[in-house]
Every structure is written in C-alpha cells, then in structure tokens.
A and B are shown apart, each in its own frame.
Chain A
Amino acid sequence: MKFIKSIIPLVLAILVTIGWDNSWGTIPPFGKLLSPYHGFWINAEMAGSEEMSEEELNIPGLLKPVKVVYDEMAIPHIFAENDHDLFLAQGYITAKDRLWQMEFQTHFAGGRISEIVGEKGLASDQFQRRMGSVYGAEQSFEGMKQDPQAKVALEAYSDGINAYIASLSERELPLEYKLLNYKPEPWTPIKSALFLKNMSFVLASGTDDLKMTNILRQYGREVAEDLFPNYPFEESPIIPTGSPIDFKPVPIPAAPKDFIGLGSAMQTPEKDPNIGSNNWAVSGNKTVSGMPILANDPHLTLSLPSIWYQVQLVAPGVNVYGSTMPGTPNVIAGFNKNIAWGVTNVGSDVLDWYQVKFKDASKLEYWHDGQWKKTKLRIETFKIKGKKDFVDTVFFTHHGPVVYLSHEKTFKPNIPVGHALRWIAHEKSQELTTFYRLNRAKNYTDYTEALRYFSAPAQNFVFASNEGDIALWVNGKFPLKSRLQGKYLMDGTDPAADWKGFIPQSHNPHVKNPARQFVSSANQFSTDPSYPYYLGWQYAPSERGRRINERLTAMQKVTIDSLRGLQNDNFNIRARKLLPLLMRSVKSNHQALGVLKGWNLQNSPESVGATIFETWVLNLQSALWDDEFAADEKVPMNRPAIDRTIHLIEYEANARWWDNVKTKGKNETMEQIISSSFQATVDTLVKHHGALGPEWAWYKHKQTGVRHLIPGMDALSRLKIPIGGGGSIVNAATTKTGPSWRFIVELSKTGNPKAYGIYPGGQSGNPGSVHYDDLIDTWAKGELRPLLFLENPNQSSSRIRKTITLSK
C-alpha cells in the first residue's frame, strides 16, 4: 500500500509526459511544441542585418565547391562547376527553405496524407491513387530516366535534399513537423515525378463529361449543343485567325457512334474556373528599347509557403534565373542571357471516361471490341496514422483505372462511377528534359527543340529572344480525336471511341513573329475553328485574352512599366458588354443601381460598383439556370457559360430558359429574372456588409487571401489583402487564386536582360522568418522588384546579404 502510494506521483508524471509528447486529433504535442529548447520558439529567425555574412557548410556528395549568394529578398544565386553539383545544391538550398512543403505536397500527390493526419485523409488519398497519380508518376519517372541529363538532375537534386534532411536534428525541424508531430523521411527521385504529375492534377484534371452526359440524358443533344456550344460567341484565340499552317495534317479518326450512357447519380465540386494565367511577348518593333519584352503571370491557388521559389542557377553552359517549383530541379519559368519564356495552361480535353461493362462481380474481365478482355489489378496500400493499413485494389482496363466502382461513393461529384479513366497524365513523359533545355536555350530553334519533350499538363509556352524573335507554342501531347470526341461520357466497349494516337508535336498550334507584333495567351481557345484537329470544346472564358489582345494592339512604345500596368489591368470587359444589356431590362429604384450607372468599369480595390456587378452576375446565372441545371444534386450538370448567357440576353429574350420551372403556373420573363436577381444582389450585400457604403468595397467583399497549405491555418495565412481584379480580369486575383508569379523581362543584345518579378509570398517557408510573406504587400500594390542577375559569384552588388560556400 505504501509502495503504491509512493509511485502514484510517478505514474502521473509519466502520463503527463506521454500526453504532451503526442498529438491527439488536432491537438498538438504541447510539451514538445512549447518547450523553449525544442519547440516552436527556436524556429524564430531574426530579421537579417544589413551586414554581409559568410558561412561554410559541408555537403557530402559534392564534386567541387559550390558558392551560394543570397540577395536582400533571400533569393539564392547558385554557382557550381558542373551540372551534378548545380542540382545537388539546388536540392539542398531549396530544402533549407522549403523542406516541409516539398514533402507535404508530394505526400498529397502520392495519396499519403493519412500517414500524417490519420483516417480523415483517407478519402482524398484513395481518390489520388485511384486516379492513378502514383501509377502516372512511375510511368513518367521511367521516361525521365531515359534522358541521362535529366537522370543526373533528378538524382543529384534528391541527394541534395537528403543531405539537408540528414543535417537536421529533431529540434531544428520546420515548424509544421512540430505542429503535426512527425518527421521527414528520405527523399527519392520519384517524388519529383509525383510533384510534376500533381501539376496535371491541378491544371489538367478538370472534367465535365459526366455533367454533360447528364444534360444529354435530360434535354437531348440539340439543347446540349445549343447551350454548350463548341466555340464561344466572343473569342480572340491564342493563335491569331489567319495564321498560316506549316504542316500537312494527318487523317482524323472516324467518330464513334453516338452514345448516351448511364450518366451517374452522385454529388460534387468541380474544377476551379479561376485557375488560369496570362502571358505575352511584344516584338522589338513595338517597344521603346527596340528589344522584345516578355511578361507572364501564372494564376494558381495562392498559398504559403508559395508554390514558387526563385533562384538563379549558374554552371558551365547555363546561367538562368526564374521561378522553380520546390520538389523539382531546373527553372520552370524565367530567362537567361538570350531568351525568356513563360507558361499558361492549355484547357484542352485530355481526360476522358469510358463506361465499363464487367463480365461479373469479380471484375476480372470486361467487354471491348466484341470480346471479354482481362482487367489488370493494382494493389495500393495506405498507411494510416494510428490505424491498421488499408489495402485497396484498383481495376485497370486498357483505357486506364476504373476510379470508382458502380456502388462506391465518389470523393468529388464530377467523377462518374463505373467508368475507366483515359488521361494524358498516365503517359510516359519527359517534362524535365524540356525545362533542362529551356534553361540553356539560346534561340528559337533551341526552344522548339526543348518543347518536343513536353507531355502534360499542356502549356502555352511564350517565348522571346535577343535575336528579336517572339513566339508561342500551344504545347503538350494531345490525343488525336474525332470532333467532340470525349465531350460526353463514352462507350468503353466500342473500339471506335478509343484514343487513336496523338497529334504530331510539330502540328501543335504555334505562331512566330506574327504581323500584329505580339503573341499572347490567357487560357482561351488555342485556335479558331479552322485548325485541322479537335483539341477540346471548352476553354477558359475569353475575357482576359480579349482584353490583353485589345490593349497590346493599341499600345505603342511599350516599356516594362507599361506591361506591368497591363498585368495589373482591372478593366471589366465583361461588364462593358453585359452591363448595358442588364440596364436595359432591370427595374429597381435602389440607389445601388445609381452606383452601377456611375461605375467606371474598373475592378479596383475600393470599387463598390465592381462588388454589385460581380454579385449580380452570380445571382443572375443562378436565377436563370439553376431551376433546370441544378435541380437535383444527385444529377450534377454544367451551367451554361457566361458567354452563352450574354448571347441569350442579347438575342433570345423569349427563350424557354427564362421561365423558372419551379414556380408552377407563372411564366417569368427576362425582365423579371434580371430585376429579381438585382434585388437578390442588393439583399445579399446588405445582409453581409450593411447599408450601401464603403464596406461594399470590392476587396473587402472578394477577400483575396494567401493561405497556408494546411487547411484552416489562418494564423499562418494572410487574409483580406487589398487587391482588385477578379477571375475574368487581367489582374486575376480572386478569393483563393491569383497571379502566383508575375515577371517581365526585356532582352538585351549584349546579354544583360532587365528583369522584374514578384510573387505573393516569400522565399522562406518558415513562419518565423521575415522572408515568409515579405513580398505580399509589394505584390498587392501591383509593383515588381528588380531581379538580380549575376555573372559570377564574386560580382559586387549592394543587394548581396549572405554567402554560403558548400563543399564536400
């Protein structure tokens, strides 16, 4: 008894220790986390002093010493004596700033989040793997390794990351590891492939086929084709109309028989329509300097740490500056002495679904081309924190994985059950080779050579050189399809519905030195309908593209600063067309209508008119279409695009769609729908922001934020950023997405390009560093920072803050 009494305090002490050494659900391990000797307190980094500092680090695996010079934005300029050391140092230096992000993003891509957060991550993980993310990464890793230079890059980059991981003690781990209570695992080269595959997930996994089939089943082909036309009424395609075609097209495969299919009854959110981008290059004939200027701003989900990491990479044969994606070697979008290049996404249809007919419940055979064929099985094992492993079998037809079986609940509503997925992201590919070669390209020939290796996600690669060339290739691997093939779900038993090879890469849409003296892209249609191949029926709305082309056509004496102005253009081209049409029909005496009448059509941060207009458009779309196209959440459908709505308002005032079918015995007119949606707009805004006034300012309503990668981590995010723009605006800042890396480069004959850039974040992934979010305010103001492009590591510059020598 006495003994038991005397050990009670010890038992309590041990329980407290175990309790605070572990995380419980979302509760972090308090002891470890708060200890001033182990926890978050030591992740604080003091703001760098203005004094120059020097440091030496030993990195195993280096062949020769590498010098790394940091500028005042904490951007590393890496000088190596060979490719191997360059990529090893890139891996090491990137991990030093972004290790947690690199691992977290690849865990997400590989369907391994449940290893960190437990069972609640399983549905997302299973979706990732059923879609074939790991399968696709394995395929493309095979392709990448076939290029010896890419292989060196991948392996050295991986060694560099591992050298950094090995150098970390537990107390030096990045903050997020401490919060979520886990440790980094060794990096492997296939993780770089996984990261690149994830870009296909982000940019080329949108799919409306199920929704379109549901519309087909409900309203028939005529309505489906009328409301969802295959080319917009207003468009300004990337390749200017009338551009010559310099190839002889290969024959187009015959179309499969019409197929209606079963559709599906499940729920969903769809692809984010706001993920898009702008890029352009202006010929020297239009610029003050006489040299081409290139500008790019890829729009992605805005996050902290940022998806981008700036770096300069220098070794024999290469001196390149630009943004990299932590997790992959090379620069993704940037410039060197001779050329500059940038990217925007191509919204072509590279993902199709095939309804599968299995022989029996074993699913070991499926019907195709008049015979039973064998499915292939792939076993996926999920490690779940705190639980037993979960083992999942994925069935593959020759098309690809059956993502969900007929009885399963889907993770997203736009994914059909009982269908096999054919997706470009499953192809063997060599994207790294493209970036390796672009980093070293000297002219147009090198650029086109580099593009040959790129599969997915297809990008509009804009280009400018100091030889005076400007160009744009709509580039990637595109399936060779019959017209509209894959707009709807397809019949998996019909061989005519299969993809029939790919469009020859040299036939991809492209333009070089056009008469209009500029090239541009903003995710709109790649070409006009005269292009001989079918790429897709639906692209991003054309507004940004039309505005950019309108401005670039008008602009003369172009400078870096005038293009910076265009990147920040807030003009609402949609309102220019739509607002007068609405005003013609609306009946209201609310003063908000007066504000709209006086609105200058600019989505500037303080604009109240922008808030009213944008909210009205949403309410109008909903009032007009939701009664027919969102009536049953189990049968998800597309809503006609805004371009189609505008056409309806302009020319089809008596269309059946104006009537709200949910109100029996009443027949609403266009005027009534427009007026009631205006009233609904005013009611919503009053409810959220009070009476009409400065609280209705566009930026307060829109609430652009740069959020930490862990959902809900507001304390590590920057919210309510005062920035204008919007999804259909050139300055494409929305609530969660926006220009994720803006840069402008003016080339120079003598190899001294002038470059400016900014991204909404900071170089460091550590919330305890001043460089965590130090670029956001500059970005929000629409300003750019001059980019330091060094010739050699010993060059003097007042902007250099720190030098690190890495040696064996």
Chain B
Amino acid sequence: MQSNTLRIIILIIVGAIVGFYLPWYAMGIQAGVLAYLLKFPVKSSFTVGFISGILLWGGSAWWLNYSNPSALPVRMATLLPLQGSVPLLYLVTGLIGGIFLGFWTWAGARLR
C-alpha cells in the first residue's frame, strides 16, 4: 500500500537521478510516467508532484549553494529580480519545480 509520503520520496529520488543524466524536462516526464505506472490517485496527484518538485528543486538548490557557496545566487536573485534575496530564489526555484512536477504527476495519474 503506497502512502503519499512514499510517492513523494520515489519522485524525488528518481527525479534526482534523471536530472543528473537527462535534459531538464525529463524530470517532469519521469513524474508523469511514475504516476501512470504506479497508479497514483488522481485526486492528490498534483499535490504530491508539487511537494516533490518543491523539495527536489528548492532543496537541491539549497544544497548546491550550501556545499559550494559563491556570489552567483545573489547576482541571479538581483537579476531576476528578487532584490538579491537568496531565500526567495530557493523559493522561486522550488515553485517552478513544484508546478512543473505537479502538472506532470497529475497528467500521468489522470491518463489511466
């Protein structure tokens, strides 16, 4: 019996592996494929994908900057423009990842 927590963990782990080796959009498609194959319930599918995306993208971004600090996130947060706030940049990165994975997870679950 899958719980949503388990689904989220699966999406994050597979998403990270796919991210390392394949183009960026594959990270969304994998969520759709998994949702389809593992029969994610349609109702919670968007939320599951959304939370996975936020954690995967926002968390990875945070980890990258934590383990390899540089001036780049501040510069990008100024450029985008987020007033140079790196926390906001984590949030925006997470939201993009969340919406992206959310739609694909919903799409995969709905197709079945």
Contacts and interface: CB of A to CB of B under 8 A. Distances in A.
Interface string A8-35: 1110110011001100000000111011
A40 B68 CA distance: 13
Given A13-B32, A44-B70, A37 B99 contact: no
Contact of A37 (B24, B28, B75, B78): B24
A35 B103 CA distance: 16
B79 interface: yes
A361 interface: no
B20 A37 contact: yes
A44 B64 contact: yes
Interface residues of A, number: 40
B41 interface: no
A31 B107 CA distance: 18
A6 B72 contact: no
A7 to B, nearest CB: 7
B9 interface: no
A661 B68 CA distance: 65
Interface string B89-112: 000110011011001101100110
Interface string A33-52: 01111111111111100000
Interface string A764-788: 0001111010000000000000000
Task: Give the interface size bracket for B toward A.
Answer: 35 or more
A632 interface: no
A4 B86 CA distance: 41
Contacts of B28: 13, 16-17
A170 interface: yes
Judged by DSSP, the binding face of B is helix
Nearest to A43: B72
Contacts of B75: 715-716, 767-768
Interface string B20-33: 10011101100010
B107 A44 contact: no
A96 B75 CA distance: 21
A44 B24 contact: no
Contacts of A40: 72, 76
Contact of B24 (A7, A9, A39, A716): A39
A550 interface: no
B110 A44 contact: no
A16 B60 contact: no
A713 B80 CA distance: 10
A770 B110 CA distance: 48
A274 to B, nearest CB: 27
A8 B107 CA distance: 8
A712 to B, nearest CB: 10
Contact of A44 (B72, B81, B93, B96): B72
A20 B100 contact: yes
Nearest to B49: A13
Contact of B96 (A34, A42, A714, A768): A34
Interface in B19-75: 19-20, 23-25, 27-28, 32, 57, 60-61, 63-65, 68-73, 75
A480 B55 CA distance: 72
Contacts of A20: 96, 100
B61 A9 contact: no
Contacts of B24: 21, 31-32, 35, 37-39
A313 to B, nearest CB: 30
A9 B103 contact: yes
Contact of A12 (B16, B23, B97, B103): B103
A13 B72 contact: no
B23 A170 contact: yes
21 contacts: A6-B111, A7-B111, A13-B32, A13-B103, A16-B100, A17-B100, A21-B24, A21-B25, A30-B96, A34-B96, A35-B57, A38-B19, A41-B64, A41-B93, A42-B64, A44-B69, A170-B23, A713-B79, A715-B78, A770-B70, A770-B71
Given A16-B28, A41-B93, 18 more contacts: A6-B110, A12-B106, A13-B103, A21-B25, A30-B96, A31-B96, A35-B24, A35-B97, A36-B60, A36-B61, A36-B63, A41-B65, A41-B72, A44-B72, A46-B68, A46-B70, A767-B75, A770-B71
5 smallest A-B Cβ distances: which pairs? Answer: A37-B19, A768-B72, A36-B60, A715-B79, A715-B78
